[in-house]
Amino acid sequence: MKTYEHAYRTLSNGDTLAYIKQGAGPVIVMLPGWSQTAAQWLHQIDDLSSDFTVYALDFRGHGESSNAVGGYRISRLAADLNEFLIAENLIDVTLMGHSMGCSVIWAYLDHFGIERVSQLVLADQAPMVTSKPWWDDEDKNTYGCLFPDTASVEGFVSAVRASDTVEAHKEVIRGMFTPNIDEESLTWIAEQNLKMPRAEAADLLWDHALLDWRDVIVHTALPTLVVGATASIFSADSQRWIASQNPNATVEIFEADEGGSHFMFFENPERFNRHVREFLST
């Protein structure tokens, strides 16, 4: 896989964020998912940077960023993003998130507002990862719940803590892809994921899995592209629900036979990038 030169931004508390910057033009800031890295946006960085200034960010403890002592919660990642945008003097930004990266976007909007943000691209994040005890099956599907209860979260977090080898971690993430993913790519993705220490990855996952973003979603009216997939860990209906709450949102759903997994942007980058370009041109 391609390697990138990273730049670094030191935060006010001394922690360091790594990022990739390429291209010129309107600004897109790409935010990866839980335990993922900026480099995993490679198909978007290389394509979209021909017409846009692309920043791809490694969250604290992820990728090439410093392994901070603490702060492994969504609210801190949103605060880091705010510091980064201010330090880079970025305005009129398109925030593009995948999975947990979308949760960071929602937390950012909740705490810091829309002053610096003009548009959103939200790739496959549930409004709530874990079901509330009183929800029925229809609610769980509508809101995309991956886990039926907190006991299930505990089991997955424990598996994450124990999966500290590439082969073990491949089995943790394999179900997030279609069966067509090649082993070389899956190995590389697992290697990228393991740049984040497993204890910190587990702490962040626990925080992430228990948050409810529905009230932020229903009050977000920024132009938004929502992307989901029929073979994702999150229901396609949950992505349709997100788009339905915003009069300025559109939704695209990838089918399983066209790379329609949780990582549709990696498995079918041509279609994903086309939709992003079409959205940004409107």
pLDDT, mean of residues 55-69: 95
Pairing of strands 53-57, 27-31: parallel
Cβ atoms within 10 Å of 31's Cβ, excluding its own: 28
CATH of the domain at 96: 3.40.50.1820
Residue 282 has pLDDT above 90, yes or no: no
Asked, for residue 118, whether it belongs to a domain, the answer is: yes
Kindly list the distances between the CA atom of residue 39 and the CA atoms of 114, 171, 222, 266, in Å, as whole numbers in the listed order.
26, 21, 27, 11
- Exposure class string for 154-177: b at 16+ Cβ within 10 A, else e: eebbeebeebeeeeebbebbeebb
Residue 163 lies in a domain: no
Q: Strands 16-22 and 53-57: what pairing?
A: antiparallel
pLDDT in tens, 22-31: 999 999 999 9
CA 135/CA 131 separation, integer angstroms: 7
**What's the structural domain count of the chain?**
1
User: Which of the four pLDDT bands, split at 50, 70 and 90, describes residue 87?
Assistant: very high
Q: Which of 150, 189, 147 is nearest to 37 (CA)?
A: 189
Three-class secondary structure of residue 29 per DSSP: strand
**pLDDT band at residue 71 using 50, 70 and 90 as cut-offs:** very high
Domain for residue 199, yes or no? no
Q: Is residue 176 part of a domain?
A: no
The pTM for the full model equals 0.98
Q: Give the angle 229-134-97 at the CA atoms, nearest 5°.
A: 30
Strand-pair partners of 250: 225
Q: Would residue 200 count as lying in a domain?
A: no
Q: Is 269 within a domain?
A: yes
Range of the structural domain that residue 38 is part of: 7-127+212-281
pLDDT at residue 156 tops 90: yes
pLDDT tens string 185-222: 999 999 999 999 999 999 999 999 999 999 999 999 99
How does pLDDT run across 212-262, given as a tens digit for each residue? 999 999 999 999 999 999 999 999 999 999 999 999 999 999 999 999 999
Provide the token pair at 176.
């997030």
Asked, for residue 48, whether it belongs to a domain, the answer is yes
CA atoms within 13 A on the CB side of 125: 28
Looking at residue 2, its pLDDT comes to: 84
Kindly state whether residue 220 falls inside one of the protein's structural domains: yes
